[in-house]
Amino acid sequence: MLSQKTIDIVKSTAPILETHGVAITTYFYKTMFEAHPELLNIFNHANQSQGRQQTALANTVYAAAKHIDQLEVLLPAVKQIAHKHRSLAIKPEHYPIVGEYLLKAIKGVLGDGATDEVIAAWGEAYGVIAQVFIDVEKEMYDAAEQQPNGWKDFKEFYIDKKVEESSVITSFYLKAKDGSPAPAYLPGQYITIRTAIPGEEFLVNRQYSLSQAPGSNAFRISVKKEADHDPKGKVSNFLHDGLNEGDTIEVSAPAGDFYLEKGSRPVALIGGGVGVTPMMAMLGTIAAEEPSRKTVFIQAARNKEAHAFGSEAASLVSQLTDGKVFTAYEEKKNDSDVCDVTGYISKDFLNEVIDSNSICYVCGPVPFMRAVVQHLTALGFDAQDVKYEFFGPAMALQA
């Protein structure tokens, strides 16, 4: 239990953290990685360079300060982060390292404003918060290991098949080297892959959604080759160009709190770009287990060449008694390209095709998700009925 004095001091820093949070977390990552370079490749370098990781951590630290006397308010966010930590094999021994460099960052950025009393209070509060994460993650580690065909941390899989789905997306079918079947998972969850990349000193980790319904002996991940921006996707490019059928990678057990909930209510699955991957797992599950459930599948792609899973999605929707599929292309390269929306998905379009009683699942690039979530909110959908998944650190979607 934290003393009231500690609670008061930590809460008093919330306005400062709201203003200087990103500066603190940027300082934190820089100094921690300099001292512990072995931790660098746990994180996505693109998210680091774009500031997403720093912003997400700053938001978490600010929320912790604001709600230090009501930590239960943070539990949903804790569980979401803990899923990612378990999938990356973050362990209790990592938390003292994070705590040390977080306190140094607070002191480094705030200077005289970070008095000994403030640092001591934050040190005590961090210990309590870290223990919450450690306890939640232990339950997740135990569950992953104890489930049928489960395991702890990472396990060797080989690439059974590589299938090109579009001009930018390739699917990888992964099978366990020991011959055991893939464990059950919830449609929408992800796995972490860990592999060595030539020129990299340490193994590199990345998380990818499972893109087919559970029940197969293999996992399927479908990876976009990130080559449009600098830094380019180090792992995605290596998967596309450096690994072949028969090659071995390490895989974590499935994780994640974004998944299809069973029930009788209508469902809208809305995926943009490679964000369609968890939607494919959900759609496949509905076709296999709930074919009478009213379902709308909406997929946005840059153009026809980048449109993955078109035939597969249409086939799955055809198995439903009340299913519809819609496609949006940002641009049409040829007049013969057929789609339902040219340009961006609008609020009016969503209002026209989605049942107002639907549970909506959204995944894609942040600008896409922000627009879709704001449209759905404007249409009157409750926040609890609009569920979304970030590929990478969570960011605010509402204006």
Catalytic residues: 95, 137
CA dist 357 and 266 (Å) reads 7
CA dist 166 and 307 (Å) reads 6
Q: Flag whether 207 is marked binding.
A: yes
- Determine contact, residues 27/105, Cβ cutoff 8 Å: yes
Q: Flag whether 336 is marked binding.
A: no
3-class DSSP assignment, residue 215 = coil
- As a whole number of angstroms, the longest Cα–Cα distance in the chain is 69
Q: Flag whether 272 is marked binding.
A: no
- Amino acid 102 reads L
Q: Flag whether 202 is marked binding.
A: no
Q: Flag whether 220 is marked binding.
A: no
Q: Where are the alpha helices (DSSP H) in the chain?
A: 4-12, 14-35, 45-49, 52-66, 75-88, 95-110, 116-146, 234-242, 276-289, 310-318, 347-353, 366-378
Q: What DSSP string runs through 273-319?
A: GGGHHHHHHHHHHHHHH-TTS-EEEEEEESSSTT--SHHHHHHHHHT
Q: Flag whether 208 is marked binding.
A: yes
Q: Flag whether 390 is marked binding.
A: yes
Long-range contacts of 332-341 (CB under 8 A, 24+ apart): 332/303, 332/304, 333/303, 333/304, 333/305, 334/304, 337/303, 337/304, 339/304, 341/300
Q: Flag whether 364 is marked binding.
A: no
CA dist 299 and 308 (Å) reads 9
Where does residue 347 rank: exposed (0-12), middle (13-18), buried (19+ CB within 10 A)? middle
Q: Flag whether 108 is marked binding.
A: no
Q: Flag whether 310 is marked binding.
A: no
Q: Flag whether 275 is marked binding.
A: yes
Structure tokens at 391: 């590929």
Q: Flag whether 276 is marked binding.
A: yes
Structure tokens at 242: 């450096």
- Determine contact, residues 361/268, Cβ cutoff 8 Å: yes
Q: Flag whether 215 is marked binding.
A: no
Q: Flag whether 198 is marked binding.
A: no
- Residue numbers in the known binding site for heme b are 85
- Residue numbers in the known binding site for FAD are 190, 206-209, 390-393
- Residue numbers in the known binding site for NADP(+) are 273-278
- Residue numbers in the known binding site are 85, 190, 206-209, 273-278, 390-393
